[in-house]
Structure 1
Amino acid sequence: MTQMVSALIGTSHLALSAEHGLPMLQMELPETEASLSVQAIQIERGQRFVVQRGVAFVPVRGVLTPNSALLEKYLGWATYHGLAETMAMVTASDEVRAAVLVFDTPGGAVMGVQAGVEAIRAAAAVKPIHGIIHPLAASAGYWLASQCTDLALTPGSWVGSVGTMSTSYSAMQPGGSGEQLFIQTSAHAGAKRPDASTEEGAKLIQNRIDAMEAEFLTDVSKGRNIEQGEISGRMSRTDSDQDGGDVFWGVMAQVRGLVDSQETLADFLSRIAGQYAPKPRTQSKAYLAQAQAALDQSEL
């Protein structure tokens, strides 16, 4: 039986780019597991990261969820809990000198995102955590990306969509069976299932997503070293902060402080490889003297 991605996420509070993320919710799960590649870097099935020459490469892609094993296994999409576990392993490993997070995500669920945010922030306090956006880090994806030590953007890639939204359903008319759906909550649990079609319900939902947005802005402020009061304005193309949550690319993304640099993926990977490649071992003078003595002895 075919299973839709939306069935695994349900109706929840989202930090998701509506333009890019909502269509992905209508995807069907494939029958085979996904493998990933970032140019010459191959991520095999079931792997959350690979280590090459002292650098851990971590893909952060797809619609993000707290812990959907099916989406992770069959589509290669990241989960917040999986990312937290990965960052803990990267931090603890003596083999890993730095990590690269490769972002290709429209965002996802708000629930669980703080696990990923705090894990990246904690790892960046111990080792360099480089981020490369190729081609999208929107909403919850940018929430995570903003915590990297530094952040690069490949040509044509987009960042932004800072904000939260909510999806909900309310009974408006009888369904196909001719029956009307009624939902009733207990006396002090009006927020358990607010009715978005009423003023009271809409207010409850608005309060909730505004509180989530405040956390989002706080984390971006810390990660990108931007005054929190400036973020909404930087995310708007008009004079109104209420028009924030837009997406940006190229020079505008860099000018607004959303990323640190622009470079091709090949140039980025080359720079990282040069920065962390193992240094050639130099032979000491004592070693060279011993080698020469051994050579001289062999010639007698």
Structure 2
Amino acid sequence: MHHAQIAQRAFNTPLMVDPAKALAFLSGLGPRITGQDITFQGVEANAADQTTAALPARASLFGNDLAQRQERNGAQPYAVVDGIAVIEIAGTLVHRGAWIGQSSGLTSYEGIAAQIDAASANPAVHGIALDIDSFGGEVAGAFDLADRIRAARARKPVQAFVAEHALSAGYVLASQADRIILPRTGAVGSIGVVALHTDMSGALDQKGIAVTLIHAGVHKIDANPYQPLPETVHDQMQRELEVVRFLFAETVAAGRGDRLGHAAALATEAAVFRGANAIAAGLADELADPVTAFRAFAAAPGGINPTSRKGPQMNTDSTDTPNSDQIADATPSTEFVAPGTPEPPVALPTPTSEALAPDAPVMSADAIRAEAAEVAQVCAQAARLGVDIDAADAVARGLKPEVLRARVLADLASRGDAAGIIATAPAAAAAKDSPIIAAAKKAATASR
């Protein structure tokens, strides 16, 4: 934002604008332009306008001065309707965005957090309504805010009212509510991550501009816009995105529980679900007009039956979702009883220097996604055997599925459970053994 240019257009120059509009403009942008609080002379302003003008320009990560300052003035940093704190989550979601809201087209995670904390601590607030209409935003800050929303719902009922979109980062926040209410045309999901790289080298060549990058450190200029993106850098960026997608799915699962587990969230492959399809897929809980649903929530926010939070499990009949066999294979089963006492997480091996070398074989984006999905499947199968593996860490370190299977078998063998794995495998699994079970059978046969 060009503050100097705004100041030149707003101050010391004739304006043809209604005084009330000018006051609203200066109340919102004045402190940011001048860097300090502003006062108004010659213009009659009501108390609410003065309170707005006195707001600081930012909310701190480590304090809640913004909310406290409004409380001292007898106001709240959120709207209150029938005892329900209404917190808007609209537009593009940003980290370190100061106290900005829908009027700027951006909403900051800090601002939302300040409102959540204040509403949670206010005894006059009986519940929290998240008014969401966002296509998403930045990764930074989203997961931490999701944790705060989930913690808040342990103290007070929290419901998310989507009108009309809660996608990507917007869905991260919506998924932490007790319930998600969606209109008939509303859309949720997009559980995925994207990164953009701009290659300006061709345009610069046409203009006769040569850019020389002088750097210390091999990776200092990775993904710079003045050169084509090297395949090795593309490979690393793809793996980083897969790791964030794992974290995304884990956060959604923490909020949605058995309505949308980690494996099922990954299996959506970032698809967008609309209306009734979203309910059937477990991404939302109720199809209703948000205004009507809000009135019901305000009438009895504390009267929600916890069992009613459980929505239908994923229905994969929709054309934009994977088939049911894919989800069934990736979802941990509760029928398999792990032999022996649960052990600490398996220590994952460190990739060899050859695997990290710049001239290592380059994988396509599709191959990396397929490998990440296979790693997730191996980790789910290992969990059924009582072996805990951090899938996100495995993907981040570039560990191959066969390496993970070997580690699982080695861990089980050290406990003397290889025979038990085969003996206790349910009959249903015999028809289609998992790769780990198949490898265990092969190892047991070879040892005879």
Q: Is the Cα–Cα contact under 8 Å of residues 62 and 104 in structure 1 kept in the other structure?
A: yes
Pairing of 1:104-183 with structure 2 (within 5 A): 104-173=133-202, 175=204, 178-183=208-213
Alignment match, 2:270: 245
Cα distance, 1:246 vs structure 2: 1.1
- Aligned residue pairs total 233
The partner residue of 2:284 within 251, 259, 272 is 259
Q: Secondary structure at the match of 1:99?
A: strand
Q: Is the Cα–Cα contact under 8 Å of residues 222 and 233 in structure 2 kept in the other structure?
A: no
Q: Is the Cα–Cα contact under 8 Å of residues 85 and 129 in structure 2 kept in the other structure?
A: yes
Question: Are the structure 2 counterparts of residues 33 and 116 from structure 1 closer, same or farther at C-alpha, using a change threshold of 3 Å?
Answer: farther
Between the two structures, name the one with larger relative contact order (CA 8 Å, sep ≥ 6): 1
Query: Runs of 5+ in structure 2 lacking a partner?
Result: 4-23, 29-50, 56-75, 303-448
Q: Is the Cα–Cα contact under 8 Å of residues 80 and 115 in structure 1 kept in the other structure?
A: no
Identity of aligned residues (%): 24
Question: Are the structure 2 counterparts of residues 210 and 271 from structure 1 closer, same or farther at C-alpha, using a change threshold of 3 Å?
Answer: same
2: CA distance, partners of 1:121 / 1:203: 34
Looking at CA atoms only, which structure, 1 or 2, has the larger radius of gyration?
Answer: 2
2: CA distance, partners of 1:116 / 1:82: 10
Question: Are the structure 2 counterparts of residues 102 and 117 from structure 1 closer, same or farther at C-alpha, using a change threshold of 3 Å?
Answer: same
Q: Does 1:216 align with 2:238?
A: no
TM-score by length of structure 1 reads 0.69
Question: Are the structure 2 counterparts of residues 70 and 93 from structure 1 closer, same or farther at C-alpha, using a change threshold of 3 Å?
Answer: closer
1: CA distance, partners of 2:222 / 2:90: 31
- Post-superposition CA distance 1:137-185 (Å, at most 9, x none): 0000001100001111012110011100111223423527521234454
- Post-superposition CA distance 1:57-116 (Å, at most 9, x none): 011000000132375374263211111111111111111111000110000011111232
Q: Is the Cα–Cα contact under 8 Å of residues 99 and 111 in structure 2 kept in the other structure?
A: no
The partner residue of 1:228 within 227, 251, 262 is 262
2: CA distance, partners of 1:33 / 1:106: 29
TM-score by length of structure 2 reads 0.48
Alignment match, 2:235: 203
Alignment match, 1:69: 98
1: CA distance, partners of 2:118 / 2:105: 19
Question: Are the structure 2 counterparts of residues 132 and 273 from structure 1 closer, same or farther at C-alpha, using a change threshold of 3 Å?
Answer: same
Question: Are the structure 2 counterparts of residues 190 and 77 from structure 1 closer, same or farther at C-alpha, using a change threshold of 3 Å?
Answer: closer
- Post-superposition CA distance 1:259-285 (Å, at most 9, x none): 0101002211221232159xxxxxxxx
2: CA distance, partners of 1:33 / 1:156: 37
Q: Secondary structure at the match of 2:292?
A: helix
Q: Secondary structure at the match of 1:217?
A: helix
Answer 1 or 2: which has greater helix percent: 2
The partner residue of 2:87 within 33, 58, 81 is 58
Alignment match, 2:432: none
- Post-superposition CA distance 1:171-219 (Å, at most 9, x none): 4235275212344543253586467621111012112111111110100
The partner residue of 2:116 within 87, 90, 93 is 87
Residue 251 of structure 1 aligns with an amino acid whose one-letter code is A
Query: Runs of 5+ in structure 1 lacking a partner?
Result: 4-30, 36-43, 236-243, 278-300
Q: Is the Cα–Cα contact under 8 Å of residues 99 and 108 in structure 2 kept in the other structure?
A: no
